[in-house]
Every structure is written in structure tokens, then in C-alpha cells.
Amino acid sequence: MDFTNPYIGAKRMRLEQHQLAQAIRLDMAAELDAINLYTTHVDSTDDPLIKAMIQHIVDEEKEHLAEFEQILFRLDQLQHDKVGGAQHEMEERKKAA
């Protein structure tokens, strides 16, 4: 089976921008899931070499997530614009705390 072919079982097609944004959100969910899963693996062993290797993978998944986020921001301007509002709200809540 060819695991590198994303079109297995589906006709090869081009996606509209909003459809690609939806696909990227799913990719981001997969990265988040991988981060949580691999972190449990890090926590499950006392072997320092294995811990370090898996932690490296966790860190890479976090980079992938950030990269997908940048792609999503390019595809969805509203999603991008929400970042500033969320940062502002966090700063306001920090001041109030």
C-alpha cells in the first residue's frame, strides 16, 4: 500500500481555498493529537535516550503545527485576524488578574 499517496480511494482533485483550509485544520488536529500521544510516550519511560528521541519528535510536531497555522492564516484571513484580538484579550485579562 502506498502511504504517501493522499488520494488513495479518491479521485485526484484540486481544492478550493476554503476546502484546503478545512483540510489544513484537520492536519493541525492530527499534529495536536500526535503531540499529546508522543508526550505520553516520553512520560512512559525512564530511558534518557528514548525520552530525548521522542521529545525531539514532539518538538518537530509542534513545529509542523506552527507551519500549518501559517498556511491556514494565508488561506483564511479571518482566522489570521483573530490572532490579534485573542492576544489583546489575553493581555487585558493578565492586567486584570
Footprint of Fe ion on residues 12-41 (CB under 5 A)?
none
- Cβ proximity to Fe ion, 3 vs 95, nearer residue: 3
CA distances to 7, 39, 52, 87, 91 from 84, rounded to whole Å, are 36, 29, 35, 5, 11
**How many binding residues for Fe ion (CB under 5 A)?**
2
- What CA dihedral angle connects 50, 53, 54 and 57, to 10 degrees? -170
CB of 36 to Fe ion, least distance (A): 13
CB of 78 to Fe ion, least distance (A): 25
- Cβ proximity to Fe ion, 51 vs 64, nearer residue: 64
Q: Which stretch binds Fe ion (CB under 5 A): 4-12, 35-43, 61-69, 74-82?
A: 61-69
Check residue 64 for interaction with Fe ion (CB under 5 A).
yes
Contact (CB, 8 A) for 31 and 61? yes
Contact (CB, 8 A) for 39 and 58? yes
- Cβ proximity to Fe ion, 61 vs 76, nearer residue: 61
List residues binding Fe ion (CB under 5 A).
61, 64
